[in-house]
Homo-oligomer: A and B are copies of this chain.
């Protein structure tokens, strides 16, 4: 019998803990087949540091609380493993730690960078004749992973943004006669506009009149014309924009930072668009930047998303048991739209790693600034269902679990 290593990786989502919750349920169901379930503190960093959290040390109540928390209960990471061919120290270290703890299953829950980490590790383990079963579980609010119909985390972020833009839209509509005429909601989305696009599900007359996605080149005059038309026709204009839209040729609105993968840190396009509208059209404009709120609004998570995120975790444990889906990322397969039915399938890690799935052409309206009915049909099931949280003292019952580690068996790692 071997142990399972599980970790969260990359930017967290509202439902990434639901996947851990599914992993725990699956482990409890098949406990006789595995020695231990170890969760890496802060993703793969936990494997390098030998910071391995021992699920056996928690009470059922503590483990149950994980499901209803945003963020990653035991941390996530933005961490790029070095090239195993030239700088193999990190890989050797992970091998040592895995051997010491008899880890035979590696399950990594993340986006495209994280699937690349899983692929690299799997390749390294094989090269060193080590039989470790390696699997990925998808997760990203960006919904940009290949090989899966949708990504856990996306539906909840979309539900939050749709609700938020509708609420701001009601506000704007109340005031526009003598005050603000344009409202802009900035969403996440570096190269893909899935989150901005999702706001197209917001119900009229509170939904966006203009959606800006990185999939389409920004057309300044067409944009300004559309905004002005909306103000004159409706009295106001609601806009959603993905942070990765380039207002000027090839120029992202970076805020100056760069992450571990060399990606520029984005955020802050909304104020630029607000200035453009003010300068060119002289309409009073307000903007909101949702930032982390959209990926952590657990109080408004999508029922479909929670269900899928949890099911993937449970399925991963069963796949370990069957030794199936090695070097695969589990994926959601859409069986039918109406009624919405889905199943779990898989895709080779190599097709997912470092790739980004953009919005297909048939989902973007001809003007390039809104979505089509086909897109609505795709998005709709993903935001269905509400699961209310427990509140105490007026706030959701979020709490931090103490990290209970297994005893270290290796010498400290020197970076």
Quick check: is A415 within 8 A (CB to CB) of the other chain? Answer: no
Which residue of B43, B167, B175 contacts A298 across the interface (Cβ within 8 Å)?
B167
Separation in Å of the A179 CB from the closest CB of chain B?
4
Docked Cα-Cα span, A168 to B293, in Å, equals 6
Which residue of B69, B288, B296, B300 contacts A291 across the interface (Cβ within 8 Å)?
B288
Decide if B293 touches A72 in the complex (CB within 8 Å): no
Quick check: is A230 within 8 A (CB to CB) of the other chain? Answer: no
Contacts of A286 in B (CB 8 A): 267, 291-292
Separation in Å of the A261 CB from the closest CB of chain B?
11
Which residue of B70, B270, B396 contacts A171 across the interface (Cβ within 8 Å)?
B70
Decide if A178 touches B260 in the complex (CB within 8 Å): yes
Quick check: is A154 within 8 A (CB to CB) of the other chain? Answer: no
Contacts of A28 in B (CB 8 A): none
Contacts of A288 in B (CB 8 A): 288-293
Quick check: is A2 within 8 A (CB to CB) of the other chain? Answer: no
Docked Cα-Cα span, A151 to B139, in Å, equals 42
Chain B CB within 10 Å — which of A45, A73, A75, A289 has the most?
A289
Number of A residues with CB within 8 Å of any CB on chain B: 82
Decide if A42 touches B177 in the complex (CB within 8 Å): yes
Contacts of A394 in B (CB 8 A): 159, 162, 201, 302, 380, 383-385
Separation in Å of the A191 CB from the closest CB of chain B?
19
Copies in the complex: 2
Chain B CB within 10 Å — which of A69, A171, A385 has the most?
A171
Contacts of A260 in B (CB 8 A): 178-179
Quick check: is A102 within 8 A (CB to CB) of the other chain? Answer: no
Stretch at the interface among A202-210, A215-223, A351-359: A202-210
Docked Cα-Cα span, A260 to B69, in Å, equals 43
Decide if A167 touches B297 in the complex (CB within 8 Å): yes
Decide if A205 touches B289 in the complex (CB within 8 Å): no
Could you list 19 examples of A-B contacts with CB < 8 Å?
A: A45-B177, A45-B178, A71-B175, A75-B175, A77-B177, A164-B297, A167-B292, A167-B398, A168-B291, A178-B260, A179-B260, A205-B400, A255-B271, A256-B278, A267-B287, A268-B271, A286-B291, A288-B292, A383-B394
8 closest residue pairs by CB, A with B: A71-B170, A383-B394, A288-B291, A71-B174, A167-B296, A72-B174, A171-B296, A168-B292
